[in-house]
Chain A
Amino acid sequence: MDRIYFDHASTTPVDRRVLDAMLPYFSEQFGNPSSILIEEGRVPNKAVDEARETLAQLVNAEREEIIFTGSATESNNLAIKGLALANRDKGKRILFSDIEHFSVMNQADFLRSLGFEVDFIKVDNYGIIDLEDLKNKATDDTILVSIMHANLEIGTIEPIEEIALFLKERDILFHSDGTGTCGRIPVDVKKLGVDTMTISPHQFYGPKGVAALYMKRGAKLISFMQGGFQEMGYRAGTENVPGIVGSGKAAQIAMEEVGEKLERLTRLSRRLWDGLSSSIEYIHFTGHPNIRLPGHASFWIEFVEGESLLLWLNLNGIASASGSACASNMMAADETGLKASHVLTAVGVPPEICSGSISFSLGKDNTMEEVEYVLSVIPGIVKRLMEMSPLYEKARKPGR
């Protein structure tokens, strides 16, 4: 059997149809889309516009509400810093959830250095936002809240619509990182009620190095990139035309195939959950059992360390992800980078235990045969690692 890729939360392969759509824009249609007075520029310019229209359709936005950027990280930075700086006359308080991606979390110190006050909202044991905590922390001075749509580590989907309603009543801006959801499940930004939302095409079989930001019409945002007037002045720099074209194609395919994909992924992940829970002792699933991304299963196993499990799965041809401290920042200059996943810590898993965490994220090309193979391999690996664990020995022989 070829290698099994169960790490689609990290990235997805570029769909062949997406690649075919992109290829002409590297060489044949190489013109600068800003050069609209010459033929070479017109075709790419039109292609970028068409992709913008398709991305807009993907999330039920208007074409003018889509800004192309270089990555989801850049989109999150543009939205949060841009909205904060443009609205600082209204207040200085900004709230993030405890389980945001680093591209949101790590803006806190910089925002504080600019005079903003940043606070974090708790989540419950399933990773769902604690609305009471949000209500308590959303003071009159609060101008912006950022809460991701779905967490790619534990799979939980947040009640964005409910949160948006509350924030709208208080005139607080709302950014949501839609990296985990846009292109994976149906997303309607109007229905959700967000002001800005990050869209990451490489999460739905588009290319890396390109992303988009939905920006609600009328939203006030300051760009931190000074240069030309591309992307309506919000993101200077010559557009990544092949990447943008690929994003449009990926969005089109995502819309056409979402129904079938969701049905398959739900079936596969249900079998995976059932198989894991019946064959592995001391397994604990993370994230919400129902309100979660299709095709996603995350768990930790007592007495088993995540990196070792990840390495053994890899040696057996299976690619997955671990929230283990030891797998988190392997190439850091020293061990200061070895912290247990902030997401798992936030959902109440003790740091010394969450080192066993693994997440499987399935994609459109995974099969039931692959799921069965993983289920056949993993109990043996777990048994081997447990037998090696002094913690397991202690649990089996209390009093020693």
Chain B
Amino acid sequence: MAKGPYSDKVMDHFMNPRNMGEIEEADGVGEVGNPACGDVMKLYLKIEGDRIVDAKFKTFGCGAAIASSSMTTELIKGKTIDEALSISNEAVAEALGGLPPAKQHCSVLAEEALKVAIEDYKKKKGQG
């Protein structure tokens, strides 16, 4: 495989994105965009108690943006909300085997999408 500037892990998540799709009647939805490059990420959460039991995403963006979204859903599934909120963009990038410097913002976008989705959940629950 021609790897180019991306790690094998990034390319794997780009080619075989985990949890791509949407959750009907999601408990929390977060959509964020990066005006610099036009990427848009949308994260859907299914939450039972305070645990994320399912997460799906849809992303308009580059390879790093798709891989970051995919990895984020993998990292947060099964975690409590607080545990998920403690996952930083660096952790997403690290789990992907690193991102090129200009692509670090893709992992930031994923972290932001997660925060917005959890905020949305809290708002719906009257906790926001």
Q: Which of B38-46, B88-96, B119-127 contacts A (4 or more CB under 8 A)?
A: B38-46
Q: Give A216 to B47 CA distance when docked, in angstroms.
A: 73
A residues 336-363 in Cβ contact with B at 8 Å:
337-340, 351-353, 355
In the complex with contacts A330-B100, A330-B102, A388-B66, A308-B15 CB distance below 8 A: no
How far, in whole Å, are A339 and B36 apart by their CA atoms in the complex?
A: 6
Do the beta carbons of B102 and A352 come within 8 Å of each other? Answer: no
Neighbour of B104 across the interface among A334, A355, A388, A393, CB < 8 A: A334
Q: Is B62 in contact with chain A by the CB < 8 A criterion?
A: yes
Are B38 and A308 interface neighbours, CB within 8 A?
no
B15-52 interface mask toward A, CB cutoff 8 Å, 1 = contact, 0 = none? 10100101000000001000111111110000000000
A393 to B35, CA, bound (A): 19
A308 x B62 contact (CB < 8 A): yes
Contact check: which of B2, B58, B105 meets A388 at CB < 8 Å? B58
Q: What string of 1s and 0s marks CB contacts (under 8 Å) between A226-261 and chain B?
A: 000000000000000000000000000000000000
Instruction: Provide the main secondary structure of the chain B interface.
Output: mixed
Task: Among B2, B42, B62, B102, point to the contact of A390 (Cβ < 8 A).
Answer: B42
**Which residues in A have their C-beta under 8 angstroms from that of B15?**
315
A389 to B41, CA, bound (A): 8
Interchain CA distance A389-B42 in the complex, whole Å:
9
Total number of A residues with any Cβ neighbor in B under 8 Å: 33
| Contact call A331/B41, Cβ cutoff below 8 A | no
Using known A-B contacts A335-B102, A355-B37, determine if residue A314 contacts B2 with beta carbons closer than 8 Å: yes
B78 an interface residue at 8 Å Cβ cutoff? no
A331 near B5 (CB under 8 angstroms)? yes
Q: With A330-B5, A331-B5, A338-B102 as known contacts, state yes or no: A308 contacts B61, CB within 8 Å.
A: yes
Question: Mind listing 28 A-B residue pairs with CB under 8 Å?
Answer: A311-B14, A314-B2, A314-B4, A315-B1, A315-B15, A324-B37, A324-B62, A325-B36, A326-B39, A326-B103, A330-B102, A331-B5, A332-B101, A333-B101, A333-B102, A334-B101, A334-B104, A335-B102, A335-B104, A337-B102, A338-B105, A340-B38, A388-B20, A388-B60, A389-B40, A389-B60, A390-B42, A393-B22
Q: Which residues of A contact B (CB under 8 A)?
A: 303-305, 307-308, 311, 314-315, 324-327, 329-335, 337-340, 351-353, 355, 388-393
